[in-house]
Structures are given as structure tokens and as C-alpha cells.
Structure 1
Amino acid sequence: MARATGEIPKALVCPHELPAPLAHVWEWFCQLAGARSAGAFSLAPISYQDIDAWARLTGHRPTPAEVGLLRQLDDVFRDEIQRK
């Protein structure tokens, strides 16, 4: 986000370091976000199909809760990009 906009959105700023149990979700999000397709007027959201294909290709098995976190991170990311 900082590279794309020059700022880190408040919604992504943690008062503490990223908890170790969640670090893998952030890494997964970075992988998925780097491979996303472009939308008509902005970034396309990371879809369930994208997550499914990524999981099959990488061998990762995200839980439903982790998939929800990935989608939430993507929502915040895209909202911040659109505000800029």
C-alpha cells in the first residue's frame, strides 16, 4: 500500500507488530494482490476463484476464517487505492 499510494492506511496500521499467528495471512495477501487482474476502472477484487486457484497452485489450505481475512484485507486495500 505504501508503495502504491505513498501512505499506509490507518486501517492497516497495527499498534503492535503483526501477531505471528497472522503473519502468513499477510504474506498470502501480498502474493494474491501481486497477481490480481485489472478491473474496468480500478483494481479487480481478489475473488474466491482467485483464492481457490492460488491455493491449488501453491498447496496452501486456507481456513474459511483465513479466506475471510484475505477478503477483508483486499477490501481495505482497494478502498484506499480508490481514495487516492
Structure 2
Amino acid sequence: MRDQHQGKKPRIPIAGQHVWHWFKKMDVTREGTGYGINPLQPTQIEAWTRQRGIKLTPWQLDAIEALDVLRLQLFFEKSSGDKDTEVVISDRPLSPALFDAIFPK
């Protein structure tokens, strides 16, 4: 997943390609907030598999949960890097005259 996040094609073993495909399908249905994405909840995974008639084996569920942890780490690493840049609203210093012009009495 890190390779894909860096713009490279991911190297998925043949035996796990179906799990990767399932995870990508689940990933686009995940819920989020204004602060980012939420982890896939067990109820979401269970509903997704039930709707498709898929019975996950323990290793498949473990793989999906591990992919989800990595997905969250990559998302928040990228998000935290954006906060290092300072947002410049104005180059002008706020003088009393400018303050009064913006917020008249």
C-alpha cells in the first residue's frame, strides 16, 4: 500500500489479490469526518461481506484489518505534513486604522 501511496504500482501476492480487491472496495465506502477518515468498523466489514455472500477466513479478516491500519497511518502522515506550512492570510500588518476599517463601530 505504501508503494501505491507513493505513486508506484503495489506488489500484491497472487494469493492475496482478492483480499486487496475487497479492501479497496471497502475503503471507498468508509465513513469520515471533517478531520479525516475513520477506521473500518467490524460492523461495516461484516455488512459488506454479508451483502456479497463472502465468508472471510481469519487470515483474510486479519489482512483487511492490517491494511486498514496502514491506510490510516498513510492518510494521517500525509495530513500531518500539510500542517507544517504556515497559512499567510495577509502581508499587511494589522494597524489600528486597518482594524477599524475592517470592524467599524
Calculate the TM-score normalised by the size of structure 2.
0.63
Instruction: Return structure 1 stretches of 4+ with deviation > 6 angstroms.
Output: none
Structure 1 alignment gaps of length 5 or more: none
Alignment of 1:1-84 (within 5 A): 7-8=6-7, 17-39=11-33, 41-84=35-78
Percent identical pairs in the alignment equals 25
Give the alignment's Cα RMSD to 1 decimal. Answer: 2.6
Calculate the TM-score normalised by the size of structure 1.
0.77
Higher relative contact order (CA 8 A, sep 6+): 1
Larger radius of gyration: 2
